[in-house]
Structure 1
Amino acid sequence: MGHGGDVINELTTDHREVDDLFQQIEQAMPGSAERKQLADQLTIELVRHSVAEEEHLYPAVRKHLQDGDALADKEIADHARVEELLKDLEGLNADDPEFNHVIVKLRTEVEAHVRDEENNLFVQLSNACAPGDLEQLGDKIRTAKKLAPTRPHPSAPSTPPGNKLLAPGTGLVDRARDFVTGRGK
């Protein structure tokens, strides 16, 4: 499964990539620089994915699904917990004893969120939206990920219009920091 296609294919592909990064972290030597690099890559992918969902997927959920507001609010709350863990992880070296603990908590949160999206939210969205709408939403998600921040910003807005206004600028600053530091290469 590659990137492209409708929103469900795009986000499911992201989910599999995140699963793979968690496995790579688990297999890397404890305390190694490789582990920290993989954690940085995981953070980049999770933040970009979350921002794109918050900008485009959850407004569509609110619009198209019965109880959409409650569903979107629950998903955004999941993201907030993940983002706090990512912020904790960002400040840790791979040899810090807390690093493994945060990775385990993060994986638990992310896996629960992914299961809920794939088994509940995506099914409902697929039934409620026309294929063309899902394709357009996939395009919007891909564009948003290109402009999204790459670092956790727990205090940033998670709903429109604030997130759509601030995310591209924050993303530009994050990508500049990443370029200078070599993070995510």
Structure 2
Amino acid sequence: MDALEVLTHDHRMVEQLFRDYHSAASDTQRRAVVELLVRELSKHAALEELLVYPLARKVLPDGDEEVDEHLGEHMAVKTTLLALDKLSEGDARTDGLVAELRRDVTEHVREEEEEFMPRVRAAVSQEDLDELGQIITQAKQSAPTRPHPHAPDHPPALTLAGPLAAAYDRLRDRLDRRPRT
């Protein structure tokens, strides 16, 4: 898959996780889905910020403005993810935060898929998108698995902070006995 197909696949997976949350039969199942949402959206956002958005800044005529708008949307999502990550199983605030997250993610995905991605596809060669897709797929194995709303979201600071955050997240995941990715 090329880079944009990988990101679109992630979007479909997250949409399925929202459906799974609403069909879960217990607080334990809902909490497991929340942990998957936190992990998958954290990885997705980190990789977009590190690999896709810098490219878009370069190739789109209004790249800085558009990417800054997407980064603002990421900040809202990360803040909600952090709040969800801090909750315990069965917390009454979970449903409201998941609903807020779903609204924010749905709007962000719509903007990306209808506006942003077609513009990037038109500006970047298929060969480069294919190569970036391979890089993103490999980078998922070492991307941060928790939200870091206060971490840098632009390279080069992101390039330095990302691996440290990822290592810390994976240690926390192991201690919390969360599934590995």
Question: Scaled by the length of structure 2, what TM-score is found?
Answer: 0.95
Please give the alpha-carbon distance, in whole angstroms, between the structure 1 residues aligned to 2:50 and 2:135.
9
Deviation beyond 6 Å, 4+ runs, structure 1: none
Equivalent positions of 1:34-183 (< 5 A) are: 34-183=29-178
Indicate the residue corresponding to 1:18 in structure 2: 14
Using the TM superposition, give the Cα deviation of residue 177 of structure 1 relative to its aligned residue in structure 2, in angstroms. Answer: 1.5
Structure 2 gaps of 5+ residues are none
Structure 1 gaps of 5+ residues are none
Indicate the residue corresponding to 2:3 in structure 1: 7
Question: Scaled by the length of structure 1, what TM-score is found?
Answer: 0.93
Map Cα deviations across residues 161-182 of structure 1 (whole Å, 9 max, x no partner): 1111111121112112211221
**Which AA in structure 2 matches 1:171?**
A
Tell me if structure 2 keeps the 8 A contact 1:44–1:151: yes
Percent sequence identity is 37
Please give the alpha-carbon distance, in whole angstroms, between the structure 2 residues aligned to 1:62 and 1:108.
26
Tell me if structure 2 keeps the 8 A contact 1:51–1:144: no
Number of matched pairs: 180
Please give the alpha-carbon distance, in whole angstroms, between the structure 1 residues aligned to 2:86 and 2:164.
22
